[in-house]
Amino acid sequence: MSRQQGQAWEAHAEAWLQKQGLKPVCRNWHCRAGEIDLIMRDGETTVFIEVRYRRQKAFGSAAESVHPGKQRKLALAASHWLQQHPADALRFDVVTLDGPAPTPRLEWIQNAFENPLA
Residues whose CB is less than 8 angstroms from the CB of residue 74 and which lie 6 or more positions away in sequence, other chains included: 34, 36, 48, 50, 92
Residues whose CB is less than 8 angstroms from the CB of residue 108 and which lie 6 or more positions away in sequence, other chains included: 16, 17, 20, 93, 94, 95
- What pLDDT score was predicted for residue 31? 94
In order along its 118 residues, the chain shows pLDDT tens digits of: 567 777 888 999 999 999 999 999 999 999 999 999 999 999 999 999 999 887 766 565 666 667 788 899 999 999 999 999 999 999 999 998 887 777 788 999 999 988 877 7
* Domains in the chain, CATH or no CATH each: 3-46+69-113 (3.40.1350.10)
- What pLDDT score was predicted for residue 1? 55
